[in-house]
Amino acid sequence: MTNPTATDTTVGQSQGRLILRRFVSNKTSMVSLVLLFAIFAFSISAIGLGPIPGWWQYNYYQPYPVLDAGRPTLSLIPEWLGGAGIALGEHPFGQTRIGIDYFAQTMRGVQNSFVVIVLLAGVATVLGTVVGAIAGYYRGWVDAILMRITDVFIVIPTIVVGAVVGRMTGGLGVQYLAICLGLVAWMGIARLVRAEFLSLREREFVEAARVAGASDMRIIFKHILPNAVGVVIVAGSLIAAAAVILEASLSFLGYGILPPDTSLGRQVSENQSAFATRPWLFWFPAAFIVVPALLINFIGDGLRDAFDPRQKRFSVRRTKELPENAEHRG
Protein backbone atom coordinates (compact mmCIF):
# COMPACT_ATOMS: atom_id res chain seq x y z
CA MET A 1 0.00 0.00 0.00
CA THR A 2 1.07 3.53 -0.61
CA ASN A 3 1.45 6.06 2.17
CA PRO A 4 -2.00 7.70 2.55
CA THR A 5 -0.45 10.92 3.80
CA ALA A 6 1.63 11.38 0.65
CA THR A 7 0.23 13.81 -1.88
CA ASP A 8 1.12 14.24 -5.53
CA THR A 9 1.60 17.95 -6.15
CA THR A 10 1.57 17.43 -9.90
CA VAL A 11 -2.02 16.18 -10.02
CA GLY A 12 -4.35 18.58 -11.78
CA GLN A 13 -1.61 20.78 -13.19
CA SER A 14 -1.46 21.61 -16.89
CA GLN A 15 1.58 20.80 -18.98
CA GLY A 16 2.53 24.48 -19.12
CA ARG A 17 2.44 24.81 -15.33
CA LEU A 18 4.53 21.67 -14.91
CA ILE A 19 7.15 23.03 -17.32
CA LEU A 20 7.19 26.38 -15.53
CA ARG A 21 7.50 24.66 -12.17
CA ARG A 22 10.44 22.56 -13.34
CA PHE A 23 12.17 25.61 -14.80
CA VAL A 24 11.63 27.76 -11.69
CA SER A 25 13.00 24.96 -9.50
CA ASN A 26 16.28 25.09 -11.46
CA LYS A 27 18.25 27.56 -9.35
CA THR A 28 21.10 27.97 -11.82
CA SER A 29 18.76 28.92 -14.64
CA MET A 30 16.72 31.31 -12.51
CA VAL A 31 19.82 33.09 -11.20
CA SER A 32 21.13 33.32 -14.77
CA LEU A 33 17.82 34.76 -15.98
CA VAL A 34 17.79 37.40 -13.24
CA LEU A 35 21.41 38.36 -13.90
CA LEU A 36 20.83 38.60 -17.65
CA PHE A 37 17.89 40.97 -17.26
CA ALA A 38 19.78 42.90 -14.57
CA ILE A 39 22.70 43.54 -16.96
CA PHE A 40 20.36 44.72 -19.71
CA ALA A 41 18.31 46.91 -17.35
CA PHE A 42 21.47 48.40 -15.87
CA SER A 43 22.83 49.33 -19.31
CA ILE A 44 19.56 51.08 -20.21
CA SER A 45 19.28 52.93 -16.90
CA ALA A 46 22.92 54.02 -17.04
CA ILE A 47 23.13 55.76 -20.43
CA GLY A 48 19.48 55.67 -21.52
CA LEU A 49 17.96 54.26 -24.69
CA GLY A 50 15.95 56.32 -27.15
CA PRO A 51 13.51 58.49 -25.17
CA ILE A 52 14.59 56.86 -21.89
CA PRO A 53 17.12 59.13 -20.12
CA GLY A 54 20.09 57.69 -18.25
CA TRP A 55 21.62 58.65 -14.92
CA TRP A 56 25.23 58.56 -16.13
CA GLN A 57 26.71 61.97 -16.88
CA TYR A 58 28.85 61.03 -19.90
CA ASN A 59 27.94 59.69 -23.35
CA TYR A 60 29.65 57.00 -25.42
CA TYR A 61 30.91 59.09 -28.35
CA GLN A 62 32.20 62.43 -27.01
CA PRO A 63 35.85 62.84 -25.87
CA TYR A 64 36.51 64.33 -22.43
CA PRO A 65 39.71 65.51 -20.71
CA VAL A 66 41.81 62.46 -19.83
CA LEU A 67 42.13 62.03 -16.06
CA ASP A 68 44.89 60.02 -14.36
CA ALA A 69 46.11 58.55 -17.69
CA GLY A 70 42.62 57.13 -18.29
CA ARG A 71 42.78 54.57 -15.47
CA PRO A 72 39.54 53.08 -14.08
CA THR A 73 38.15 54.75 -10.97
CA LEU A 74 35.87 51.84 -10.03
CA SER A 75 36.38 50.65 -6.45
CA LEU A 76 34.68 47.54 -5.07
CA ILE A 77 36.67 47.00 -1.84
CA PRO A 78 34.95 48.35 1.33
CA GLU A 79 36.86 50.67 3.62
CA TRP A 80 36.67 48.24 6.52
CA LEU A 81 38.74 45.84 4.42
CA GLY A 82 41.38 48.47 3.78
CA GLY A 83 40.05 49.59 0.39
CA ALA A 84 38.83 52.88 -0.96
CA GLY A 85 35.18 51.97 -0.52
CA ILE A 86 32.53 51.00 -3.04
CA ALA A 87 32.22 53.75 -5.64
CA LEU A 88 32.07 54.26 -9.41
CA GLY A 89 34.20 57.39 -9.47
CA GLU A 90 34.55 59.77 -12.39
CA HIS A 91 35.31 57.12 -15.04
CA PRO A 92 34.71 53.64 -13.53
CA PHE A 93 35.97 51.71 -16.58
CA GLY A 94 38.62 54.29 -17.48
CA GLN A 95 38.95 56.31 -20.69
CA THR A 96 40.13 55.59 -24.21
CA ARG A 97 43.21 57.20 -25.70
CA ILE A 98 41.17 60.18 -26.90
CA GLY A 99 39.22 60.55 -23.65
CA ILE A 100 35.89 58.79 -24.36
CA ASP A 101 34.28 57.44 -21.20
CA TYR A 102 34.70 53.67 -21.39
CA PHE A 103 31.85 52.89 -19.03
CA ALA A 104 29.33 54.63 -21.30
CA GLN A 105 30.88 53.02 -24.36
CA THR A 106 30.72 49.55 -22.81
CA MET A 107 27.08 50.02 -21.76
CA ARG A 108 26.25 51.03 -25.34
CA GLY A 109 27.94 47.86 -26.54
CA VAL A 110 25.86 45.81 -24.08
CA GLN A 111 22.66 47.40 -25.43
CA ASN A 112 23.62 46.57 -29.01
CA SER A 113 24.44 43.00 -28.00
CA PHE A 114 20.96 42.54 -26.54
CA VAL A 115 19.35 43.99 -29.66
CA VAL A 116 21.27 41.44 -31.72
CA ILE A 117 20.26 38.63 -29.33
CA VAL A 118 16.55 39.41 -29.58
CA LEU A 119 16.30 40.18 -33.30
CA LEU A 120 18.75 37.60 -34.63
CA ALA A 121 17.41 34.78 -32.46
CA GLY A 122 13.80 35.80 -33.16
CA VAL A 123 14.18 35.92 -36.95
CA ALA A 124 16.25 32.72 -37.11
CA THR A 125 13.86 30.85 -34.81
CA VAL A 126 10.73 31.83 -36.74
CA LEU A 127 12.25 31.13 -40.15
CA GLY A 128 13.87 27.86 -39.08
CA THR A 129 10.68 26.68 -37.40
CA VAL A 130 8.56 27.35 -40.50
CA VAL A 131 11.03 25.66 -42.86
CA GLY A 132 11.51 22.65 -40.58
CA ALA A 133 7.79 22.27 -39.90
CA ILE A 134 6.83 22.30 -43.60
CA ALA A 135 9.67 19.94 -44.55
CA GLY A 136 8.91 17.49 -41.75
CA TYR A 137 5.17 17.46 -42.30
CA TYR A 138 4.97 17.17 -46.09
CA ARG A 139 8.11 15.07 -46.62
CA GLY A 140 8.65 13.90 -50.22
CA TRP A 141 9.82 16.43 -52.77
CA VAL A 142 8.99 19.38 -50.48
CA ASP A 143 11.30 17.99 -47.81
CA ALA A 144 14.01 17.26 -50.39
CA ILE A 145 14.00 20.79 -51.82
CA LEU A 146 13.93 22.58 -48.44
CA MET A 147 16.65 20.38 -46.96
CA ARG A 148 18.92 20.81 -49.99
CA ILE A 149 18.54 24.58 -49.61
CA THR A 150 19.39 24.16 -45.94
CA ASP A 151 22.46 22.09 -46.84
CA VAL A 152 23.68 24.81 -49.20
CA PHE A 153 23.50 27.42 -46.46
CA ILE A 154 24.85 25.20 -43.70
CA VAL A 155 28.11 24.29 -45.50
CA ILE A 156 29.04 27.95 -45.90
CA PRO A 157 30.92 29.17 -42.80
CA THR A 158 28.68 31.48 -40.77
CA ILE A 159 31.48 33.97 -40.24
CA VAL A 160 31.94 34.32 -44.02
CA VAL A 161 28.24 34.91 -44.66
CA GLY A 162 28.10 37.23 -41.66
CA ALA A 163 31.05 39.25 -42.98
CA VAL A 164 29.27 39.82 -46.30
CA VAL A 165 26.02 40.72 -44.54
CA GLY A 166 27.86 42.94 -42.05
CA ARG A 167 29.68 44.80 -44.81
CA MET A 168 26.35 45.58 -46.50
CA THR A 169 24.29 46.41 -43.41
CA GLY A 170 26.74 47.33 -40.60
CA GLY A 171 26.52 51.04 -41.33
CA LEU A 172 22.71 51.01 -41.44
CA GLY A 173 22.32 50.24 -37.75
CA VAL A 174 22.34 47.30 -35.40
CA GLN A 175 18.69 46.43 -36.13
CA TYR A 176 19.30 45.83 -39.85
CA LEU A 177 22.46 43.87 -39.11
CA ALA A 178 20.69 41.61 -36.60
CA ILE A 179 17.72 40.92 -38.89
CA CYS A 180 19.94 40.10 -41.88
CA LEU A 181 22.12 37.81 -39.77
CA GLY A 182 18.97 36.06 -38.57
CA LEU A 183 18.07 35.33 -42.20
CA VAL A 184 21.24 33.24 -42.56
CA ALA A 185 21.30 31.57 -39.11
CA TRP A 186 18.16 29.41 -39.23
CA MET A 187 19.58 26.14 -40.60
CA GLY A 188 20.28 24.36 -37.31
CA ILE A 189 16.82 24.92 -35.84
CA ALA A 190 15.22 23.93 -39.16
CA ARG A 191 16.85 20.50 -38.95
CA LEU A 192 15.79 20.02 -35.32
CA VAL A 193 12.18 21.02 -35.97
CA ARG A 194 12.04 18.81 -39.09
CA ALA A 195 13.17 15.78 -37.07
CA GLU A 196 10.55 16.50 -34.40
CA PHE A 197 7.78 16.88 -36.99
CA LEU A 198 8.75 13.61 -38.70
CA SER A 199 8.05 11.89 -35.39
CA LEU A 200 4.94 13.81 -34.34
CA ARG A 201 3.12 13.60 -37.69
CA GLU A 202 2.57 9.87 -37.13
CA ARG A 203 0.86 10.28 -33.76
CA GLU A 204 -2.79 9.47 -33.18
CA PHE A 205 -3.90 13.05 -32.50
CA VAL A 206 -2.64 14.10 -35.95
CA GLU A 207 -4.58 11.28 -37.61
CA ALA A 208 -7.66 12.32 -35.65
CA ALA A 209 -7.27 15.91 -36.85
CA ARG A 210 -7.00 14.72 -40.47
CA VAL A 211 -10.13 12.60 -40.11
CA ALA A 212 -11.93 15.62 -38.63
CA GLY A 213 -11.13 17.57 -41.80
CA ALA A 214 -8.53 19.98 -40.43
CA SER A 215 -6.37 21.73 -43.03
CA ASP A 216 -2.64 21.08 -43.27
CA MET A 217 -1.77 24.53 -41.92
CA ARG A 218 -4.08 24.03 -38.94
CA ILE A 219 -2.55 20.62 -38.21
CA ILE A 220 0.98 22.04 -38.47
CA PHE A 221 0.53 25.18 -36.38
CA LYS A 222 -2.34 24.23 -34.06
CA HIS A 223 -1.70 20.55 -33.35
CA ILE A 224 1.91 19.57 -34.02
CA LEU A 225 3.85 22.78 -33.34
CA PRO A 226 2.59 23.19 -29.73
CA ASN A 227 3.98 19.71 -29.04
CA ALA A 228 7.34 20.68 -30.56
CA VAL A 229 7.60 24.03 -28.77
CA GLY A 230 10.18 22.64 -26.35
CA VAL A 231 12.63 21.91 -29.16
CA VAL A 232 11.97 25.36 -30.66
CA ILE A 233 12.58 27.25 -27.41
CA VAL A 234 15.73 25.35 -26.49
CA ALA A 235 17.17 25.72 -30.01
CA GLY A 236 16.28 29.41 -29.96
CA SER A 237 18.20 29.89 -26.72
CA LEU A 238 21.28 28.29 -28.30
CA ILE A 239 21.00 30.65 -31.26
CA ALA A 240 20.75 33.59 -28.85
CA ALA A 241 23.98 32.55 -27.13
CA ALA A 242 25.73 32.17 -30.48
CA ALA A 243 24.42 35.57 -31.59
CA VAL A 244 26.51 37.33 -28.94
CA ILE A 245 29.71 35.69 -30.16
CA LEU A 246 28.85 36.15 -33.85
CA GLU A 247 28.19 39.88 -33.55
CA ALA A 248 31.32 40.41 -31.44
CA SER A 249 33.43 38.44 -33.93
CA LEU A 250 32.15 40.41 -36.92
CA SER A 251 32.68 43.73 -35.16
CA PHE A 252 36.16 42.63 -34.11
CA LEU A 253 37.00 41.97 -37.76
CA GLY A 254 35.51 45.30 -38.81
CA TYR A 255 32.41 43.87 -40.57
CA GLY A 256 29.81 44.48 -37.89
CA ILE A 257 28.55 47.65 -36.25
CA LEU A 258 30.40 50.67 -37.63
CA PRO A 259 31.19 54.12 -36.12
CA PRO A 260 29.79 56.42 -34.82
CA ASP A 261 28.01 53.55 -33.05
CA THR A 262 30.00 50.97 -31.12
CA SER A 263 29.90 47.36 -30.01
CA LEU A 264 31.82 45.18 -27.58
CA GLY A 265 33.70 43.39 -30.34
CA ARG A 266 34.77 46.67 -31.92
CA GLN A 267 36.00 47.94 -28.55
CA VAL A 268 38.19 44.86 -28.12
CA SER A 269 39.51 45.25 -31.65
CA GLU A 270 40.32 48.94 -31.30
CA ASN A 271 42.18 48.48 -28.03
CA GLN A 272 43.99 45.17 -28.57
CA SER A 273 47.27 47.01 -29.14
CA ALA A 274 46.96 48.57 -25.68
CA PHE A 275 46.54 45.24 -23.89
CA ALA A 276 49.97 45.35 -22.26
CA THR A 277 49.75 48.95 -21.04
CA ARG A 278 46.01 49.53 -20.54
CA PRO A 279 44.46 46.07 -20.09
CA TRP A 280 41.17 47.43 -18.72
CA LEU A 281 40.27 48.56 -22.25
CA PHE A 282 40.27 44.87 -23.20
CA TRP A 283 38.89 43.11 -20.14
CA PHE A 284 35.70 45.11 -19.55
CA PRO A 285 34.11 44.55 -23.00
CA ALA A 286 35.46 40.98 -23.11
CA ALA A 287 33.71 40.23 -19.80
CA PHE A 288 30.40 41.57 -21.12
CA ILE A 289 30.74 39.32 -24.17
CA VAL A 290 31.46 36.13 -22.24
CA VAL A 291 29.10 36.56 -19.26
CA PRO A 292 25.80 37.03 -21.22
CA ALA A 293 26.72 34.12 -23.51
CA LEU A 294 27.28 31.87 -20.48
CA LEU A 295 24.08 33.04 -18.79
CA ILE A 296 22.02 32.31 -21.92
CA ASN A 297 23.54 28.81 -22.11
CA PHE A 298 22.61 28.17 -18.47
CA ILE A 299 19.06 29.34 -19.19
CA GLY A 300 18.94 27.07 -22.23
CA ASP A 301 20.01 24.09 -20.10
CA GLY A 302 17.20 24.85 -17.66
CA LEU A 303 14.67 25.09 -20.48
CA ARG A 304 15.84 21.78 -21.90
CA ASP A 305 15.42 20.08 -18.52
CA ALA A 306 12.00 21.68 -18.02
CA PHE A 307 10.61 20.61 -21.39
CA ASP A 308 12.05 17.09 -21.25
CA PRO A 309 9.86 15.00 -18.91
CA ARG A 310 12.55 12.30 -18.86
CA GLN A 311 14.90 14.61 -16.94
CA LYS A 312 14.97 13.47 -13.31
CA ARG A 313 16.98 15.12 -10.57
CA PHE A 314 18.87 12.92 -8.14
CA SER A 315 17.88 13.74 -4.58
CA VAL A 316 20.05 12.40 -1.74
CA ARG A 317 17.32 13.16 0.79
CA ARG A 318 14.62 11.25 -1.11
CA THR A 319 17.02 8.33 -1.68
CA LYS A 320 17.64 8.04 2.05
CA GLU A 321 13.89 8.14 2.75
CA LEU A 322 13.08 5.31 0.32
CA PRO A 323 14.06 2.42 2.66
CA GLU A 324 11.99 3.97 5.49
CA ASN A 325 8.95 4.36 3.23
CA ALA A 326 9.39 0.80 2.03
CA GLU A 327 9.30 -0.47 5.62
CA HIS A 328 6.08 1.47 6.31
CA ARG A 329 4.47 0.08 3.16
CA GLY A 330 5.50 -3.41 4.15
Q: What is the pLDDT of residues 119-146, one digit of tens each?
A: 999 999 999 999 999 999 998 899 999 9
Give pLDDT, residue 81. 60
Are 266 and 288 contacting, i.e. CB atoms less than 8 angstroms apart? Answer: no
* Nearby residues of 28 by Cβ (< 8 Å), 6 or more positions away: 298, 301, 302
Q: What's the Rg (C-alpha) of the chain?
A: 25
SS3 category, 212: coil
165-205 pLDDT, tens digit each:
888 877 788 898 899 899 888 999 999 999 999 988 888 88
Contact predicate 109/262, CB 8 Å: yes
- The percentage of residues in the chain with a pLDDT greater than 70, rounded to a whole number, is 86
- State how far the Cα of 57 lies from the Cα of 53, in Å rounded to an integer: 11
With beta carbons less than 8 A apart as the criterion, state whether 202 and 208 touch: no
Q: What is the mean pLDDT of residues 220-230?
A: 87
Map out the domains of the chain with their CATH numbers. Answer: 15-62+101-323 (1.10.3720.10), 67-99 (no CATH)
- pLDDT score, position 82: 56
Check residue 4 and give its pLDDT.
46
The structure's pTM equals 0.83
